[in-house]
């Protein structure tokens, strides 16, 4: 949410507000939501005014602060159950999940009374915003059903991929060997709302700006759009997109851009957009080599075409890069420059070797 002078919602005075009508002509709607929380005696328990000391300075066990909170789970909630049941009132409990682990009797009673639950963190001892970054994965694992996440499985990766597709999080920079994530609303600037046609045209022009020249089959294969949708977008874009004919193919290009020169050399990782963004990848093949014999996993790209394969071994302060070239020697300046660029990216010293790399 972007801060502004009045707030996140436009001003609507009382005379302009729609009339709310409750069932049976009721004039008041009452929602009772008793918090049911868990505070561990060996954790950083807040003080009487909910003040919190830095974790490293907190007193443990903070018996006085803990006891007034534990009273609620031992006595207070049971009296609330009785009073609300007497008057036929259901509750909605903002619930710490650790209550389920340590006080299952509370959960059983609430279910018997047909209460509802709202997720409210694992414990109020540690707020989500105070969880150290290196412990966040364990926090997420702990919220999932028992056994759902295996220690060395891919479920967590799939979960985060799904969250990215749903527009909840985006990938962040690596921290050592770990991937990081950030909330989309915090990382990405707000964008204006677009109509379906505007969004379609913007999507296509962004593809062509970053991956053009490309053909219509390239775009449909990469994006999942239909040919009809692509042609509609091209009609909307008009003269913003031009067509270049080469070797019997019609390549699309944004009119105000210049195709990049095919002189760059680099070590291409698996699934890189340099190859994956196109259906027809024949331009990556050197004329002297059969397209179907090229290494598509961990390819060495020299002057824009695939010329060999590579593999790596990471060590604490260095990376060993083994390269097998089809025509060139490993000590060719372009090959060395590509390997050095990769080592700089990793922040490690380069150990470059010639080897037989299978592809």
Domains of the chain, first to last: 14-130 (3.20.20.370), 147-190 (no CATH), 196-254 (1.10.10.10), 266-354 (no CATH)
Q: How confident is the model at residue 358 (pLDDT cuts 50, 70, 90)?
A: low
pLDDT at 316 > cutoff 60: yes
The CA-atom distances, in angstroms, between 140 and each of 44, 184, 288 are 20, 17, 52
pLDDT at 75 > cutoff 80: yes
Specify the pLDDT at position 42: 86
Hey, is 35 helix, strand or coil?
A: coil
pLDDT at 93 > cutoff 90: yes
Specify the pLDDT at position 161: 87
Mean of pLDDT over the chain: 86
Count of C-beta atoms within a 10 Å radius of residue 129: 5
CA pair distance 285, 306, nearest whole angstrom: 6
Q: Which is more confident, 2 or 52?
A: 52
Q: How confident is the model at residue 82 (pLDDT cuts 50, 70, 90)?
A: very high
In angstroms and rounded to an integer, the radius of gyration of the C-alpha atoms of the chain is: 30
- Beta strand segments in 105-248, E: 116-119, 169-171, 181-183, 241-246
Specify the pLDDT at position 292: 65
Scanning 194-285, the segments in alpha helix (DSSP H) are 196-211, 216-223, 227-237, 273-276
Q: How confident is the model at residue 248 (pLDDT cuts 50, 70, 90)?
A: confident
- DSSP assignment, residue 355? -
Q: Which is more confident, 168 or 2?
A: 168
Q: How confident is the model at residue 238 (pLDDT cuts 50, 70, 90)?
A: very high
pLDDT at 312 > cutoff 60: yes
Q: Label residue 244 left, alpha or beta by phi (over 0 means left) and psi (-120 to 50 means alpha).
A: beta
**CA torsion through residues 83, 89, 95, 101, sign:** positive
Specify the pLDDT at position 173: 77
Specify the pLDDT at position 228: 95
Hey, is 18 helix, strand or coil?
A: coil
The pLDDT > 90 percentage for the chain reads 40
pLDDT digits (tens, 9 = 90+) for 14-70: 999 998 889 998 989 899 999 999 998 888 888 777 777 777 777 788 888 888 889
pLDDT at 109 > cutoff 90: yes
Hey, is 83 helix, strand or coil?
A: helix
pLDDT at 78 > cutoff 60: yes
Q: What is the pLDDT averaged over residues 63-78?
A: 91
CA pair distance 357, 243, nearest whole angstrom: 39
CA pair distance 354, 359, nearest whole angstrom: 15
pTM above 0.85, yes or no: no
Specify the pLDDT at position 153: 65
pLDDT at 291 > cutoff 60: yes
pLDDT at 156 > cutoff 70: yes
In sequence order, which residues have a C-beta less than 8 Å from that of residue 154 and are 6 or more positions away? Answer: none
Measured in degrees and rounded to the nearest 5, phi and psi for residue 193 equal: -70, 135
In sequence order, which residues have a C-beta less than 8 Å from that of residue 301 and are 6 or more positions away? Answer: 264, 265, 266, 267, 268, 274, 284, 307, 338
Hey, is 231 helix, strand or coil?
A: helix
Q: Which is more confident, 151 or 342?
A: 342
- Provide long-range contacts, Cβ within 8 A and 24+ apart, for 329-336: 329/354, 330/354, 332/302, 334/265, 334/302, 334/303, 335/265, 335/300, 335/302, 335/308
pLDDT at 151 > cutoff 60: no
pLDDT at 80 > cutoff 90: yes
Specify the pLDDT at position 150: 62
């Amino acid at each position: 949410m972007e801060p502004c002078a009045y707030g996140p919602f436009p001003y609507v005075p009382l005379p302009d507000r729609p009339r709310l009508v409750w069932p049976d002509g009721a004039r008041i709607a009452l929602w009772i939501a008793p918090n049911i929380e868990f505070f561990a005696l060996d954790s950083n328990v807040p003080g009487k005014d909910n003040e919190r000391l830095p974790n490293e300075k907190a007193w443990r066990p903070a018996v006085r602060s803990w006891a007034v909170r534990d009273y609620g789970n031992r006595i207070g909630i049971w009296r609330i159950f009785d009073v609300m049941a007497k008057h036929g009132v259901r509750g909605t409990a903002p619930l710490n999940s650790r209550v389920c682990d340590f006080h299952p009797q509370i959960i059983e009673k609430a279910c018997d009374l047909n209460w509802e639950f709202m997720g409210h963190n694992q414990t109020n001892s540690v707020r989500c915003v105070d969880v150290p970054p290196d412990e966040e994965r364990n926090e997420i694992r702990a919220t999932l059903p028992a056994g759902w996440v295996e220690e060395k499985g891919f479920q967590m990766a799939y979960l985060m991929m799904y969250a990215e597709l749903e527009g909840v999080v985006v990938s962040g920079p690596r921290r050592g060997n770990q991937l990081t994530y950030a909330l989309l609303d915090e990382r990405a600037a707000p964008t204006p709302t677009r109509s379906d046609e505007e969004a379609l045209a913007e999507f296509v022009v962004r593809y062509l700006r970053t991956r053009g020249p490309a053909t219509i089959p390239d775009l449909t294969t990469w994006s999942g759009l239909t040919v009809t949708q692509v042609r509609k977008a091209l009609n909307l874009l008009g003269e913003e997109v031009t067509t270049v004919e080469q070797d019997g193919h019609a390549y699309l290009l944004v009119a105000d851009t210049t195709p990049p020169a095919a002189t760059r050399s680099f070590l291409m990782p698996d699934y890189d957009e340099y190859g994956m963004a196109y259906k027809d990848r024949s331009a990556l093949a050197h004329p002297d080599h059969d397209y179907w014999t090229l290494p598509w996993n961990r390819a060495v790209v020299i002057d824009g075409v695939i010329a060999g394969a590579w593999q790596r071994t990471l060590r604490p302060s260095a990376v060993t890069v083994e390269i097998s070239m089809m025509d060139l020697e490993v000590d060719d300046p372009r090959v060395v420059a590509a390997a050095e660029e990769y080592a700089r990216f990793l922040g490690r010293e380069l150990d470059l070797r010639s080897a037989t790399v299978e592809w």
